[in-house]
Amino acid sequence: MPHADGVEVARFARSQEPIIPVFIVTGYPKLVEDGGLVPRPVVFTKPLTYPDLTTALRIALPHRRS
């Protein structure tokens, strides 16, 4: 989606799949607003660490075993 910010992309994704988890990574966390998204997105600050990302993904995504 050219010229769209993260909240706009998240809003579009949620219009297609309302319960999709949303993660926003930004260097300016004070400027990020949730854009009215419910549930609220998880906001990470840059630099994003691997442990922070893996913890958030484990919480947000259902566990599947093959």
pLDDT digits (tens, 9 = 90+) for 46-65: 888 999 888 888 888 776 55
> Mean pLDDT of all residues in the chain?
80
- Strand locations in 1-66 (E): 23-26, 42-45
60 three-state secondary structure? helix
Question: Does the residue 66 lie in any domain?
Answer: no
State if pTM tops 0.75: no
User: How far is the C-alpha of 9 from the C-alpha of 15, rounded, in Å?
Assistant: 10
The tally of domains found in the chain comes to 1
Question: Does the residue 56 lie in any domain?
Answer: yes
| Parent domain of 37 | 6-60
Question: Does the residue 1 lie in any domain?
Answer: no
42 three-state secondary structure? strand
Question: Does the residue 44 lie in any domain?
Answer: yes
For residue 34, name the pLDDT band (cuts at 50, 70, 90).
Answer: low
User: How far is the C-alpha of 62 from the C-alpha of 45, rounded, in Å?
Assistant: 24
Question: Does the residue 45 lie in any domain?
Answer: yes
Question: Does the residue 21 lie in any domain?
Answer: yes
